[in-house]
Amino acid sequence: MSESVFPVSPSVAEKSLLTNEQYQSLYQESIDNPEQFWAEQAKRLNWFTPFDKIKNTSYQPNQVSINWFEGGELNASVNCIDRHLPQKANQTALIWEGDEPTQDQKVTYQQLHDEVAKLANGLRKLGVGKGDTVAIYMPMICEAVYIMLACARIGAVHSVIFGGFSPNAIADRIVNCNAKLIVTADEGKRGGRSIPLKQNVDEALARKDVTTIEHCLVFKHLSSQINWDDKLDIWAHELTHDMPAVCEPEVMKSEDPLFILYTSGSTGQPKGLLHTTAGYLLYSALTHKYVFDYQEGDIYWCGADVGWITGHSYIVYGPLANGATQVIFEGIPTYPTASRIGDVVDKHQVNILYTAPTAIRALMAKGDEAYATNKRTSLRILGSVGEPINPEAWEWYYKNIGNSQCPIVDTWWQTETGGIMITPLPGATDLKPGSATRPFFGIKPALVNSDGRILEGEASGNLAILDSWPGQARTIYGDHERFEQTYFSTYKNMYFTGDGARRDKDGYYWITGRVDDVLNVSGHRLGTAEIESSLVAHTSIAEAAVVGYPHDIKGQAIYAYITPVEGVEMTDELIKQIRDWVKTDLSPIACPDKIQWALGLPKTRSGKIMRRILRKIATNEHDQLGDTSTLADPSVVDDLIKNCKN
Ligand code: PRX
């Protein structure tokens, strides 16, 4: 692992919000006096009613409960829009960049306000109110931001479903969160290809167990031909046509739910993490400001999708709470060419760029195409998120996208954490390529060994967090027991992240990746269990086991071992059918890269699949299988090695 150091340059330090000394003293204060620290930070928000208790949290077994700023009342959309209007009504809030380089649109804070108010009034007219759940399945257009904020305005809980998910996955999420309304667009566009969003929703709603949806609200984006059901479907522009551009915000308690967002775990179906209003909003705003060193006038661009937590915290809530001007992008980094990111940076004079290692590696693979024809001199800060960034990709990003002038903030965090947890701060932290460096304010990371002992100094172990922070998810929607079990039962009185990490002599953290059965494919988090359950739903498959293996661009790729039902022969045609099945059943991102026909899987005598062995076979480490004597039938291993696809 590279240990080269990139010290904070004097010119960066001079322009940044915080120095190293300031970081250290604020960090210490946030740990020594968390209540005082967070009470002070909470002044960043506009409150209808001040809170009377700052922190009321417990990680005790069977009593996990997380509450911040109790007694307080506020509204997230007011904090993201209304309060900026006196000074910023005419400032651009959103710069939309379409899939085609010729398409763009600017939206001021006043326009954002008006669009959100009209939609919020429209939602109320449809009978959606405080506490109702609204599923959102949208392309990356401004309307995705409007509808999320419109929900927040009336106290409805949004649950955004990533536009890359298939009808079955949409239906599962609607059923789980009891959504009353689903919001979509006719079609989306990515990399020149159309995404049939409304059609996918139609198919999801056709599933018999989807019973809670009263209406489907549709935004017209590409004027595509779509099926229409007069009783169910409503055009957004028709709904909002006569609506006033003012809308009284709902008064929300600090701990009232803001949104549910599904993410994958190591077992079972995806879990709906529930985030609440005040703590989440404050944490996303504070991290956005200091991690990206956001200063008035900066143009900020986060390349994520609103279907993931990064889009929630660092496109919608954090930047807008800070009154930022930001680019939102419908397309992909390699369309029409690999110069697109740099071209968009030049076109909109972007100062801060936040993207994922997988995008960087995809550009790297194209030689100098990404940077030969653009300048990117407006850039001041680069960010990375979603998976470990390998030092080669880090240095390529630094040199070729950032012209060796911009610090890279490698931000480690999760859907569950709500905001960035371990990260450099641009003017404060010397950088080491591949390391997420140091904890953010209020975060107490710990490395723990398999016995639950906290390791000191230089060490490697499982990453846990010792105390609560305001942005933390409060529960898994409808299943608090699973929440406790997943995050608080592995180590007593700690939040367990599911990641492994190393701490070096300078106290810097190096995230090594998941230690559970969760994969990270191109920065997308996927549970092996969900892919397996999709595979076994195919009529030819009796049993399936999925593991990850390293991939140059995606970080990890998916390797599936499949046992056929009796009498089924493996053919290329069948493999193709299975791959297509997973794409339509779950998502194209969950489609296995390699499929191996396995006559048997390595199981213990109690019937548990030993994935450790399958991982080693898929990564071609056939000489490191370890002890196989505990297997019920050790001979299956030879067959698996013989037929390995890697
Ligand atoms: O394994 C870690 C990895 O992504 C996981 C969280 O995925 P998700 O909830 O989808 O959120 C992604 C965006 C925040 C983590 O458990 N991960 C995320 N950021 C990093 C990372 N691994 C290493 N370095 C990072 N900067």
Report yes or no for ipTM above 0.90.
yes
pLDDT, residue 625, reads 85
Q: Is the CB of 411 under 6 A from ligand 1?
A: yes
Average pLDDT over the chain, rounded to an integer: 96
**619 alpha carbon to ligand 1 midpoint, in Å?**
22
Q: Whose CA is nearest to atom 18 of ligand 1?
A: 386
Q: Is the CB of 385 under 6 A from ligand 1?
A: yes
Do the beta carbons of residue 586 and residue 519 sit within 8 Å?
Answer: no
Reported confidence tier of residue 605, pLDDT bands at 50, 70, 90: confident
Structure tokens, 436: 């997420």
Q: Is the CB of 511 under 6 A from ligand 1?
A: yes
**623 alpha carbon to ligand 1 midpoint, in Å?**
30
pLDDT, residue 445, reads 98
pLDDT, residue 595, reads 96
Strand order in 509-514's β-sheet?
A: 454-455, 445-448, 459-465, 495-503, 509-514
**310 alpha carbon to ligand 1 midpoint, in Å?**
10
**Burial (0-12, 13-18, 19+ Cβ within 10 Å), 35:** exposed
Q: Is the CB of 556 under 6 A from ligand 1?
A: no
**315 alpha carbon to ligand 1 midpoint, in Å?**
17
Strand order in 92-97's β-sheet?
A: 104-108, 92-97, 325-329, 299-302, 352-355, 381-385, 408-411
Q: Summarize pLDDT for 3-42 with one digit per residue, the tens.
A: 799 999 999 999 999 999 999 999 999 999 999 999 999 9
Indicate if the pLDDT at residue 1 is higher than 70: no
CA distance 56 to 67: 5
Reported confidence tier of residue 158, pLDDT bands at 50, 70, 90: very high
**432 alpha carbon to ligand 1 midpoint, in Å?**
18
**322 alpha carbon to ligand 1 midpoint, in Å?**
24
pLDDT, residue 327, reads 98
Reported confidence tier of residue 269, pLDDT bands at 50, 70, 90: confident
pLDDT, residue 203, reads 98
Q: Is the CB of 386 under 6 A from ligand 1?
A: yes
**Is 413 annotated as a binding-site member?**
yes
pLDDT, residue 623, reads 86
**Is 340 annotated as a binding-site member?**
no
Average pLDDT over residues 437-458: 97
Q: Is the CB of 351 under 6 A from ligand 1?
A: no
Q: Whose CA is nearest to atom 22 of ligand 1?
A: 387
Q: Which atom of ligand 1 is nearest to the CA of 416?
A: 9
Q: Summarize pLDDT for 363-391 with one digit per residue, the tens.
A: 999 999 999 999 999 999 999 999 999 99
pLDDT, residue 606, reads 84
**Is 445 annotated as a binding-site member?**
no
Q: Whose CA is nearest to atom 5 of ligand 1?
A: 414
Q: Whose CA is nearest to atom 3 of ligand 1?
A: 387
pLDDT, residue 617, reads 95
Q: Whose CA is nearest to atom 25 of ligand 1?
A: 412
**397 alpha carbon to ligand 1 midpoint, in Å?**
19
What is the distance between the terminal CA atoms of the chain, rounded to a whole angstrom? 24
Q: Which atom of ligand 1 is nearest to the CA of 413?
A: 14
pLDDT, residue 474, reads 98
Indicate if the pLDDT at residue 2 is higher than 70: no
Do the beta carbons of residue 144 and residue 288 sit within 8 Å?
Answer: no
Reported confidence tier of residue 608, pLDDT bands at 50, 70, 90: confident
**Is 522 annotated as a binding-site member?**
yes
* Ligand 1 site-directed mutation target among 520, 522, 554, 587, most atoms within 8 Å of CB: 520
Q: Summarize pLDDT for 289-305 with one digit per residue, the tens.
A: 999 999 999 999 999 99
* Ligand 1 site-directed mutation target among 284, 525, 530, most atoms within 8 Å of CB: 525
Q: Is the CB of 305 under 6 A from ligand 1?
A: no
**Is 536 annotated as a binding-site member?**
yes
Q: Is the CB of 532 under 6 A from ligand 1?
A: no
User: Distances from the Cα of 89 to the Cαs of 256, 260, 271, 308, 381, in angstroms?
Assistant: 28, 30, 38, 28, 26
Q: Is the CB of 469 under 6 A from ligand 1?
A: no
Average pLDDT over residues 542-552: 95
DSSP 8-state symbol, 569 = P
Q: Whose CA is nearest to atom 8 of ligand 1?
A: 414
**Is 83 annotated as a binding-site member?**
no
Average pLDDT over residues 152-180: 97
Q: Is the CB of 499 under 6 A from ligand 1?
A: yes
Q: Summarize pLDDT for 498-541 with one digit per residue, the tens.
A: 999 999 999 999 999 999 999 999 999 999 999 999 999 999 99
Average pLDDT over residues 212-227: 97
Q: Summarize pLDDT for 87-124 with one digit per residue, the tens.
A: 999 999 999 999 999 999 999 999 999 999 999 999 99
Percent share of the chain, pLDDT over 90: 93
pLDDT, residue 266, reads 82
pLDDT, residue 3, reads 75
Indicate if the pLDDT at residue 330 is higher than 70: yes
User: Distances from the Cα of 139 to the Cαs of 43, 195, 334, 395, in angstroms?
Assistant: 34, 9, 18, 32
**387 alpha carbon to ligand 1 midpoint, in Å?**
5
* Ligand 1 site-directed mutation target among 420, 432, 511, most atoms within 8 Å of CB: 511
Alpha helices in 369-512 (DSSP H): 391-396, 480-488
**Is 310 annotated as a binding-site member?**
yes
Q: Is the CB of 263 under 6 A from ligand 1?
A: yes
**Is 49 annotated as a binding-site member?**
no
Q: Which atom of ligand 1 is nearest to the CA of 411?
A: 26
The per-residue DSSP string of 172-238 comes to HHHHHHT-SEEEEES-EEETTEEE-HHHHHHHHHTSTT-----EEEEE-SS-------TTTEEEHHH
Reported confidence tier of residue 646, pLDDT bands at 50, 70, 90: confident
Q: Which of 251, 252, 253 is nearest to 68 (CA)?
A: 253
CA distance 54 to 254: 10
